[in-house]
Amino acid sequence: MSEAKLIYIADDENNIRLAIKTFLENAGYAVEDFENGDLLLAAFAENPADLIILDVMMPGSNGFVVCKELRKKSSVPIIMLTARDSDLDYATGLDLGSDDYLIKPFSPMALVMRVKAIFRRMELDRKVYSERDLLTGLFDKVSGMNQIERKLSECGEKSAHALFMADVDALRNINDNFGRDAGDKVLIRTSRILSELSDDGDVVCRFGGDEFLLFVTDIEDLSAAVKKAEGIYAADRTDNASVSIGIAQYPAHGRTYEELLNSANRALVETKEKGGNGYTIAG
C-alpha cells in the first residue's frame, strides 16, 4: 500500500484550518497544519510536503511571501486561499508560482477535489515524463518500440507505412571539437526537425546515442517516403552536422517491428558507407 500524500496547511483562522484538515484526512491524506507561514517554512525545510495550502493574509510571512520562498527551492504544488476576490491577488499568486486559487468562503469538499485533481495531473505528467528521453523530450527507445508495435498491430493488411532510422553524422567529432553542449544542441535540433516533419499518428523516438526512429503511418507511396527523407536531411544539414537515413517499408521490408528495424538499419549502414548525408531505401 502506498504511503499517504503529505499536505501542509498554513492559515491563521483555526476553524478553517481544522475543517480543511478533517476533510483531507477523511480523503486519505496525511495533514499537518500551522497557524502561520513561518512555521510551515520551518517544517518544510525539515520534511518537504507533497502539496501546500496557503492562506494569503496571515501574520508574519503572508501567503505570497511563503509561496515565493518555497519556489526558490521546490516545485511543490501550492493552492492559495484568500478572503479577497481580487484580480490583483489572483494574478500575484499565479505569478509567484501558485498552482490554484480559492476564494473564501468555499466548501472544504471543493478544496479536496482541487487537491485530487492536482495529484492526478502530477501522476499523468510523471507517467508521460517517464516515457521520454530526458534530452530531446521524444519517446525513449522502449516507449518508441511499444508505440510502433501497437501501430503495427492495429494496421490492416493493405496498410502502407515506413520506418526511418536517422543517424547524426560524426557526432563524436562534434563533441570532441566543439564540446558536448554543441553535440546536445545538434541532437535537440534533429529531434525538433523529426517532430516537425511528423504527422498525427506518426511515432518519433530517440533510439539511442545519435540515432532516431520515425515511424510514418499511412504513407502513400515510395515517392512520399523519399520526399520525407529529403526533408529530414536537408533541414538538418549544417556546417558541422548532417544526417544519414535508412528507410524500410511496411510490408515490403518487414511486418514486425524487429524486421522493419533490421531493414532500416541495413539501409542506414549503406548510407553511411556512401559517405552519409543522404538516405537509402532498403532493398
Q: What mean pLDDT value characterizes the chain? A: 87
Q: d(Cα 148, Cα 132) in Å, to the nearest integer?
A: 15
Copy the grid coordinates of residue 131. 516515457
pLDDT tens across 127-147, in order?
655 578 888 889 989 889 988
Asked whether residue 233 carries a pLDDT value surpassing 80, the answer given is: no
> End-to-end CA distance of the chain, in Å?
54
Per-residue confidence (pLDDT) for residue 166, from 0 to 100:
93
The residues pairing with 278 across neighbouring beta strands, listed in sequence order, are 244
187 in helix, strand or coil? helix
Over range 181-209, report the average pLDDT: 90
Copy the grid coordinates of residue 57. 493574509
Cα 163 to Cα 114, 124, 206, 218, 266, distances in angstroms: 43, 28, 13, 11, 12
Q: d(Cα 131, Cα 112) in Å, to the nearest integer?
A: 29
Percent of the chain residues topping a pLDDT of 70: 92
Q: pLDDT band for position 126 (50/70/90)?
A: low
- Closest to 161 in 3D by CA, of 200, 201, 232, 215: 215
Per-residue confidence (pLDDT) for residue 124, from 0 to 100:
72
Per-residue confidence (pLDDT) for residue 18, from 0 to 100:
92
Over range 194-202, report the average pLDDT: 88
Q: pLDDT band for position 1 (50/70/90)?
A: very low
- Closest to 72 in 3D by CA, of 38, 36, 96, 54: 96
All structural domains of the chain, each given as residue ranges with its CATH number in brackets, are 6-126 (3.40.50.2300), 141-281 (3.30.70.270)
Q: pLDDT band for position 49 (50/70/90)?
A: very high
Percent of the chain residues topping a pLDDT of 90: 46
Per-residue confidence (pLDDT) for residue 112, from 0 to 100:
92
Provide the pairing of β-strand 51-55 with 278-281: unpaired
- Most confidently predicted of 50-54, 73-77, 166-170, 221-225: 50-54
Q: Poorest-confidence range of 31-45, 112-126, 229-243?
A: 229-243
pLDDT tens across 56-91, in order?
988 888 899 999 999 988 989 999 988 876 667 667
